[in-house]
Amino acid sequence: MASLPALLIEAFSAEPLQGNGAGVVLLEAPASSAWMQGLASSLRQSETAFLWRDPRGAWLLRWFTPSCEVPLCGHATLAAALGLHHWGRLQSEVPLQLWTRSGGLEVAVSSAELPQVSVTLPSSGLIDEPEPPSYLGPLLGGAPLRYWSSPLGYRVVLVAPDVPLEQLQVPADGLQGEDRNGLVVMQAAHDLTPALAGEPCDYQLRFFAPGLGIDEDPVTGSAHALVAPWWMQRLQRQSVRGWQASHRRGGMLCEAVHPGCVRLSGTGHLLWDGQIHAPGCGADPLGWQVLSSS
Secondary structure letter of residue 93 according to DSSP: T
Select which of 15, 28, 47, 93 is catalytic: 47
C-alpha span between 45 and 217 (Å, rounded)? 10
CA angle centred on 108, ends 272 and 181, rounded to 5°: 70
47 is annotated as an active-site residue: yes
Provide the H-helix boundaries in the chain: 33-43, 74-86, 136-140, 221-235, 285-292
Q: What's the chain's length in residues?
A: 294
Measured from the Cβ of residue 30, the count of other Cβ atoms closer than 10 Å reads 22
Secondary structure letter of residue 195 according to DSSP: P
C-alpha span between 12 and 283 (Å, rounded)? 32
Asked if residues 69 and 63 have their Cβ atoms less than 8 Å apart, the reply is yes
Active-site residues, by number, are 47
